[in-house]
Chain A
């Protein structure tokens, strides 16, 4: 039973356009959500997070939206750059019960074409 799902294994966008990566979760105990970016031969790099008390968080070109009723979150990258090409992981945790455990999706490979 996969509690965090990223249903699109891959996404290709043109440089300068918007990239939208989606993530769904099933565990209603999750109250903290994170996005990581991973390049080959490197560990995941933290990008942005959002607490369940918010519905939006921005950091530069990256914005995460959370829809708790739909148990859905998305990462928007605007504008997309070729250097953004990587695997993006969505992760969730239940900070009040097991804060150190993040449950990850299987990732979406983003390719930004020049």
Chain B
């Protein structure tokens, strides 16, 4: 079955540091890939997505590139801020026009940014 593996947290960085959160996946076919974020006290919200190989999703300074050859979708940001402190989830969808459409999530990575 489908699965998502992401780096364990917590990840603690200083403000303005470079961020990478690794995510690799196993899926049948050609899944769509997502990063969701959960800020303290808030619900899950979509951060960015990519729907085919070599696509780059970007939002709020975060980027991730869909790498089919390495089955990866690593999240990066050049300069993190305290407000980026949250839990980040990598997810995939293997929808194939009638098949399962639920998202498969990784376990989440808790990111802590210190001033």
A and B interact physically? no
Which positions in A face B, CB cutoff 8 Å? none
Which positions in B face A, CB cutoff 8 Å? none
